[in-house]
Homo-oligomer: A and B are copies of this chain.
Amino acid sequence: MIFERHDRTRTHDILVDETLFVTQNRYLGVRGNFEEGVPLSGSIRGTYVNGVYETHPIVYAEKVYGDPEIGQTIVNVPDAQTIVVMVEGRPLDLAHAELESLTRRYHLEDGFAERIAVYCTTSGHRLRLTYKRMAHLKRTNLFVIDASIESLTHDLDVEIVSKLQGDVRNYEAKDDSRAGSMYAEKLDTPKLQVREDAGHVRVKTRNTQFELFVGITHDTPFSYRIEGSSVIATKPVRLKKNTPFHFQKYVGTYDSIHHIQLEMAFDDLCNQLKFTSLKQLYTEQKAALASFNQLARVSLDDGTDRKTETMIRYNLYQLYTAAPLTSDTSIPAKGLSGEGYEGHIFWDTEIYLLPFFMHIEQETAERLLEYRYQQLPRARIEAKRLGVDEGAKFAWRTINGAETSGYYPAGSAQYHINCDIAYAMIKYWQLFQDGKHLKEKIMPVLLETARFFKQVVHEQNGVYHLHHVTGPDEYSALIDNNYYTNSLLKYQLTFLVEKLEALKTPGVSLEEHNQFKAIAKRIRLPYDDTLDIDLQDEQFLSRKPWNIETTPETMRPLILHYHPLVIYRHQVLKQPDTILSHMLLQDRPTSVMRNSYAFYEKQTTHDSSLSYCVHAIQAARLGDLDTAQKYFDYTARLDVDNVQKNTQHGLHMANMGGTHLVLTKGFLGYTIDEQVSLWPKLPASWRHLNMVIRLDAKTLCTVDVTHARTVLTADHDATCHVYGQAIQLKQHEPCTLKQPLRE
């Protein structure tokens, strides 16, 4: 299955494709930059190691008490991508030659990206450069560039210059905090060394003092030398017309958080590579993807809708390869594909990304939650920063667990991060039923996050209120009783109270237990009975409606064109809020969910990439399959077609997870509760859907859906609900269920 693009040679398209053709292997991500560089353009050249970040002081225009003082940014590590072919003493690149054709391919099942560029020099030489790139999924410190250089016109003497640049900077984005960091200098002076067959650079992050080691070698002899802050490896080559010259560049990357003796590890790698054929590396790569290729396969209309299938697989591939290998980090909002949001980790992980891994790779799902568990001590500090002596409040955006949000109305005020994490842990527990994990990891998090809220809520006439918070929709800020937050809090507390009783958790007084119970029962959930809708917040209906239709495209997204005071005083949504609660909890009468959907959808700009997939799911759940498909299309192609116009800064990981969510939660009606339930139904234009889901800790199940029926084939005996009926599945025995005429 190959994702392919042709002749996208305009500056902006090159930038977007740098993101789209990122190669990630969970440890590192290398943007799909041109090996030869893109002279004079705004190329964002970057390689990122998950978990390696630098800190900087956060400067405020007017600092308020408690504003976080230290920012964190993922680090652009030394760049080993560069390979330049020198023709007649000049580099073969856009500044010196014409790019006649450009083909980029992502070999999704094989795990590598390919770029074929044909350049024509002013002196009439035509050359084809073919670069295959593989961030190795088994040997996770290894990045391979498999190169092929071919002269199409004459025999030709060229020099190949392969580079490792030590003095890299981060991308600087002073005015748009969504794009990158304000400070580009992250690394101290690099130390370089070369030997006969390799060269390397060692460098430290300035404040965090993480050491980075990047080494390069090639499968064929090069001359290595140091020039400035770079290792330069050169090789003169006589190209025979139409006879490609092949070679491989191997890059080893190591950091002092995850490795000891970095240089020795690189030497080991070099030795291994001497006895490892390129073919073996490709074979290993495909083997590492075997489980993914099997479990993330989504078949649509028996393969006739290859375009959609490819987009889905592309999204899931990038998501899969962005998962962390260790629990000291998680999945940044942009994965390892760019510097947008500075590599920070948000609620995206729990609400949008985790479900996919719960289906196909439990240990990764567990690791994502373990990351939060390990941050609990930091979250306790965070609660104190927010004036709450008890409990824990997770950071809105962070790498190391400390809050780095510099604008609290759309940052620290989003208390719902606590509920999102709790919700995810509850769902994890319900699916995997790991009692030890529940007791040791989940309960402490549920308890501490609940304690934070216990202090913050305000009881008035027996009703509990949560004032001056911001929900997921950041186009309303600092409002009262956000429906999303309160409803998820109710869900979390209800589960907590039940488990406290069942597990007899120590350290919880009867009084505290009763407090949790009372809040769970009587927390305010704003509702309007005239409209029969749940209200996003206490103030929502009083706001002036915003006319999205008359707002020109040039004024979108609103947040980049209107002062927050304007946006906040209007009825307008960036992304679903109440609808998201309904989507996650499915706990309200259908009429309320239907009315709410109709009401809020009209007011939603989808300025957030976290919006479409939720609308798709909830539309599907409510039976509006045309709308569901419309939003699914936006979701699936969001990065591929640069719908949000900022894919150059990185992939929208949450939306990629959203692709899977729409299929499972939306079209399959997949719900985890005490058991898994399904209610598959397809949009009119699809005839057939086939994919794999998880029913419980040990059971995976193939679901095959047409408009008439659903066939389930589980790999173990299992039970679930389908179309409202309890079903017993026998191992490997297909079970066919007719789709009912109505829900």
Contact between chains at B65 and A565 (CB < 8 Å)? no
Given contacts A458-B544, A478-B568, A544-B467, are A561 and B59 in contact (CB under 8 A)? no
Report A638 CB to chain B, min CB distance, Å: 23
Report A97 CB to chain B, min CB distance, Å: 40
Tell me if A177 counts as interface (CB < 8 A to partner B): yes
Contact between chains at B468 and A61 (CB < 8 Å)? no
Which residues of chain B are near A544, meaning CB under 8 Å?
458, 467
Contact between chains at B385 and A61 (CB < 8 Å)? no
Tell me if A560 counts as interface (CB < 8 A to partner B): yes
Q: How far is the CA of A269 from the CA of B413 in the complex (A)?
A: 59
Tell me if A62 counts as interface (CB < 8 A to partner B): yes
Report A87 CB to chain B, min CB distance, Å: 45
Contact between chains at A542 and B460 (CB < 8 Å)? yes
Tell me if A408 counts as interface (CB < 8 A to partner B): yes
- The interface residues of chain A, by DSSP majority, are classed as loop
Tell me if A465 counts as interface (CB < 8 A to partner B): yes
Per-residue contact bits, chain A 380-416, to B (CB 8 Å; 1 contact, 0 not): 0000011110000000000000000111110111000
Report A408 CB to chain B, min CB distance, Å: 7
How many copies of the polypeptide does the oligomer hold? 2
Q: Considering the complex, give the chain B residue whose CB is closest to the CB of A560.
A: B65
Contact between chains at B406 and A569 (CB < 8 Å)? no
Tell me if A684 counts as interface (CB < 8 A to partner B): no
Contact between chains at B61 and A543 (CB < 8 Å)? no
Per-residue contact bits, chain A 562-586, to B (CB 8 Å; 1 contact, 0 not): 1111101100000000000000000
Tell me if A539 counts as interface (CB < 8 A to partner B): yes
Tell me if A686 counts as interface (CB < 8 A to partner B): no
Tell me if A237 counts as interface (CB < 8 A to partner B): no
A513-561 residues with Cβ-Cβ distance < 8 A to B are 538-539, 542-544, 559-561
Given contacts A59-B59, A60-B61, are A408 and B539 in contact (CB under 8 A)? no
Within the complex, which residue of B177, B538, B562 is in contact with A62, where a contact is CB–CB below 8 Å?
B177
Contact between chains at A569 and B458 (CB < 8 Å)? yes
Given contacts A460-B542, A565-B387, are A406 and B478 in contact (CB under 8 A)? no
A47-93 residues with Cβ-Cβ distance < 8 A to B are 58-67, 71
Tell me if A477 counts as interface (CB < 8 A to partner B): yes
Given contacts A409-B409, A478-B478, A480-B539, are A468 and B565 in contact (CB under 8 A)? yes
Contact between chains at B565 and A412 (CB < 8 Å)? yes
- What number of A residues sit within 8 Å (CB to CB) of B? 51
Contact between chains at B66 and A563 (CB < 8 Å)? yes
Which residues of chain B are near A477, meaning CB under 8 Å?
478
Q: How far is the CA of A58 from the CA of B182 in the complex (A)?
A: 13
Contact between chains at B467 and A542 (CB < 8 Å)? yes
Q: How far is the CA of A175 from the CA of B64 in the complex (A)?
A: 9
Given contacts A385-B563, A542-B465, A563-B385, are A411 and B62 in contact (CB under 8 A)? yes
Candidate in A405, A408, A538, A565 with the most chain B CB atoms within 10 angstroms: A565
Which residues of chain B are near A388, meaning CB under 8 Å?
566
Contact between chains at B177 and A63 (CB < 8 Å)? yes
Which residues of chain B are near A405, meaning CB under 8 Å?
62
Given contacts A468-B568, A480-B542, are A387 and B562 in contact (CB under 8 A)? yes
Which residues of chain B are near A412, meaning CB under 8 Å?
563, 565
Per-residue contact bits, chain A 164-200, to B (CB 8 Å; 1 contact, 0 not): 0000000000011100001000000000000000000
Which residues of chain B are near A66, meaning CB under 8 Å?
562-564
Contact between chains at A67 and B63 (CB < 8 Å)? no
Given contacts A458-B569, A467-B542, are A62 and B387 in contact (CB under 8 A)? no
Per-residue contact bits, chain A 464-496, to B (CB 8 Å; 1 contact, 0 not): 010110000000011010000000000000000
Report A273 CB to chain B, min CB distance, Å: 44
Contact between chains at A566 and B64 (CB < 8 Å)? no
Q: Considering the complex, give the chain B residue whose CB is closest to the CB of A567.
A: B387
Report A178 CB to chain B, min CB distance, Å: 9
- CB-defined A-B contacts under 8 Å, sample of 20: A58-B61, A59-B61, A59-B182, A61-B61, A62-B405, A64-B407, A65-B559, A65-B563, A385-B563, A386-B563, A386-B566, A408-B564, A409-B409, A458-B542, A465-B542, A467-B539, A468-B568, A480-B539, A538-B539, A539-B539
